[in-house]
Chain A
């Protein structure tokens, strides 16, 4: 039983991280129907910046409250960096393609992802790099059984508030309303006076900010970064977004958690080597029975 709970705990924590990345996919998809292939690599660049900052500030020597404040600063800086970069890419690459055939932005996104990878290659070098362990590895839970360290806690304390903030943003602010309007019908939104390009830029910023925050958490939680990390991260996060119903914000969260749990439990009960296959097999089965994903609404049909 303890073993099962431990695996669930790991799955939840991992899932929260996946969900945070998935949000970036789902928001951009929701608003311009683009699978932003570069999102995973954007996060990789965020992690590069985080590592550079950690070594520049000498954060490995900080303790106690200073560490936590430092982490908050990192989250903010990397969030701004990734958000800004995302907006810039949208402005330069995707915006001129708004009326192009559907697959043109997709291929451009793949192109951006390659460029990001190349930047990461020069930034980090070809080998994986170790991200310093800033947080104590002490078990926070009493007793022998379950293991839950400050790192795991960090994932939760960053991810949950950010997600709440995001849903408040989308549900109750003017910007959020505009986002939803653009998502439903960009032309109609423009007609009622919404600056569509600005709303799209804001969406890219928010998605990128979450990605940047996720990159810091990733570095602190996984402790290894490398120029190829974006791909695998992106794959799982994108899968989570689709699983939950792409375009749906709660869907991305649910999808992320489901993926985290499936990975943990299949590693524990089937074998580590099959996890990749099981995650995607479950994805296919779920989509066969719920074609719009777990929480997705039916897509509009073009007639």
Chain B
């Protein structure tokens, strides 16, 4: 995770007080600070050993998924409304490679790698014939693909278990003994194992995305987003570049799917990979800031965190304080969940249309446009 500090920060840091210097450091290396904080959190917050640990793990998984989507929507500027399908394909492939019903029963890492690659392959297969479609037509193809995948997963019962899903997906390291205890059982009992696994994977994906951002390929993605014709004129093959974005996006989404299935110990049913999920992740990426890694992470933390962590917590708090003895939905938090959610989306778009943490490039462009 090496990013060279920008010059103005350096000057700030040399002339400012220690407090400012500390703040500047935190701002500059937010990633490291966050990583350390999250790595230490399970040791000091006992709740992470329980349900909350599972919920936060799910948040990490969605962060990975959103970073995958960000490759398509943020860097390359292709609207993708079916990311959940690739998430689901990853989860199901992973399950097929690991569950006892099938003969493969691969180890976690092998299965995750194989299914991420295969998901990328499926992404390519969808991308190749549809890339000449522009803008919203491509968006609708991805949406349609998402629906096709959902229905297919539901109907191919012999392979996918239909609405039952594939169950149970063994935890990583099942059968592996470390110091007398089974690693798989440790994963199954204490959510902190998955917490760290997901955090580690997320950190890895963040590092990889950063490298990509500044690589030849990453710049080509942005070039195609900004002006396809100009990019072509400069010798960038738009088709290839877009295909690579499709593949990368699918692979990362597939990887997220593997983690998801492993941490839930089931693929869940195909409805878990429907259009709603795609939209939720897309909103998170846009809300956070297209093409911005911290933005994407923040977007997921806010949107998905709202639905999976805050809302259930608020509901049970209302119950415990006995504010709502009659059980009226007007007085429960979840009764208002949708409206709060919708209002937040509208307000952010109204006052920060470029997202909460816009990428430097996007911010510069907007600035330019307004100047």
Instruction: Tell me if chains A and B make direct contact, with any CB pair below 8 A.
Output: yes
Give chain A's interface residues, CB within 8 Å of chain B: 29, 33, 35, 93, 96-97, 100-101, 103-108, 110-119, 121-122, 126, 231, 235, 238-239, 242, 246, 273-274, 276-277, 279-281, 283-284, 287-288, 291-293, 299, 301, 303
A101 to B366, CA, bound (A): 9
Report the minimum CB–CB distance from A187 to chain B (whole Å): 15
Check if B197 is an interface residue, CB within 8 A of chain A: no
Contact B345 A107 (CB under 8 A): yes
Closest residue of chain B to A293, judged by CB? Answer: B137
Residues 264-279 of chain B: 1 if any A CB is under 8 Å from the residue's CB, otherwise 0?
0000000000011001
Q: Which residues from chain B contact A103 at a C-beta distance below 8 Å?
A: 73, 79, 286, 290
Contact B275 A111 (CB under 8 A): no
User: 5 pairs across A/B with beta carbons < 8 Å?
Assistant: A115-B338, A231-B275, A276-B148, A276-B150, A287-B141
Contact A35 B136 (CB under 8 A): yes
Contact A111 B341 (CB under 8 A): yes
Check if B354 is an interface residue, CB within 8 A of chain A: yes
Contact A283 B339 (CB under 8 A): no
Contact B335 A112 (CB under 8 A): no
Contact B353 A101 (CB under 8 A): yes
Q: Which residues from chain B contact A119 at a C-beta distance below 8 Å?
A: 339
Contact B155 A239 (CB under 8 A): no
Which residues 314-355 in B have Cβ within 8 Å of A in the complex? 329-330, 335-339, 341-346, 348-350, 353-354
Check if B110 is an interface residue, CB within 8 A of chain A: no
Check if B217 is an interface residue, CB within 8 A of chain A: no
Closest residue of chain B to A116, judged by CB? Answer: B342
A100 to B350, CA, bound (A): 9
Residues 288-305 of chain B: 1 if any A CB is under 8 Å from the residue's CB, otherwise 0?
001000000000000000
Contact A276 B147 (CB under 8 A): yes
Q: Which residues from chain A contact B179 at a C-beta distance below 8 Å?
A: none
Contact A280 B342 (CB under 8 A): no
| Given the contacts A108-B350, A276-B151, A284-B130, A118 and B144 also touching, CB distance less than 8 Å | no
Contact A105 B329 (CB under 8 A): no
Q: Which residues from chain A contact B151 at a C-beta distance below 8 Å?
A: 273-274, 276-277
A231 to B276, CA, bound (A): 9
Closest residue of chain A to B138, judged by CB? Answer: A287
Report the minimum CB–CB distance from B322 to chain A (whole Å): 22
Q: Which residues from chain A contact B208 at a C-beta distance below 8 Å?
A: none
A288 to B144, CA, bound (A): 12
Report the minimum CB–CB distance from A298 to chain B (whole Å): 9
Residues 125-136 of chain B: 1 if any A CB is under 8 Å from the residue's CB, otherwise 0?
000011011111
A291 to B133, CA, bound (A): 6
Contact A284 B335 (CB under 8 A): no
Check if B215 is an interface residue, CB within 8 A of chain A: no
| Given the contacts A35-B136, A242-B136, A281 and B144 also touching, CB distance less than 8 Å | yes
Which residues 133-159 in B have Cβ within 8 Å of A in the complex? 133-137, 139-141, 143-145, 147-148, 150-152, 154-155
Q: Which residues from chain B contact A35 at a C-beta distance below 8 Å?
A: 136, 139
Check if B287 is an interface residue, CB within 8 A of chain A: yes
Contact A107 B140 (CB under 8 A): no
Contact B335 A93 (CB under 8 A): no
Closest residue of chain B to A120, judged by CB? Answer: B338
A231 to B271, CA, bound (A): 14
Q: A35-B136, A111-B349, A121-B335 are in contact. List 19 more A-B contacts (CB 8 A).
A: A33-B136, A100-B349, A103-B73, A105-B349, A107-B283, A110-B342, A113-B342, A114-B345, A126-B329, A231-B276, A239-B140, A246-B136, A277-B152, A277-B155, A279-B147, A284-B141, A291-B132, A299-B134, A303-B229
A90 to B169, CA, bound (A): 47
A105 to B79, CA, bound (A): 14
Closest residue of chain B to A37, judged by CB? Answer: B279
Q: Report, as a range, how many residues of chain B touch the other chain.
A: 35 or more
One of B129, B139, B276, B353 near A104 (C-beta < 8 A): B353
- Per CB-CB distance, the 8 closest pairs between chain A and chain B, nearest first, are A114-B342, A111-B345, A280-B144, A100-B353, A277-B151, A118-B339, A115-B342, A104-B353
Report the minimum CB–CB distance from B244 to chain A (whole Å): 20
One of A97, A121, A274 near B353 (C-beta < 8 A): A97
One of B135, B329, B349 near A107 (C-beta < 8 A): B349
| Given the contacts A93-B350, A107-B286, A287-B141, A121 and B341 also touching, CB distance less than 8 Å | no
One of B143, B290, B346 near A101 (C-beta < 8 A): B290
Contact A280 B341 (CB under 8 A): no
Contact B345 A280 (CB under 8 A): no
A116 to B275, CA, bound (A): 18
One of B147, B275, B279, B283 near A277 (C-beta < 8 A): B147
A107 to B339, CA, bound (A): 14
A276 to B339, CA, bound (A): 29
Contact B279 A110 (CB under 8 A): yes
Closest residue of chain B to A238, judged by CB? Answer: B140
Q: Which residues from chain B contact A242 at a C-beta distance below 8 Å?
A: 136-137, 140
Report the minimum CB–CB distance from A267 to chain B (whole Å): 13
Report the minimum CB–CB distance from B152 to chain A (whole Å): 6
| Given the contacts A111-B341, A277-B147, A101 and B354 also touching, CB distance less than 8 Å | yes
Contact B148 A281 (CB under 8 A): yes
A106 to B279, CA, bound (A): 11
Which residues 61-111 in B have Cβ within 8 Å of A in the complex? 73, 79
A242 to B287, CA, bound (A): 26
Q: Which residues from chain A contact B282 at a C-beta distance below 8 Å?
A: 107
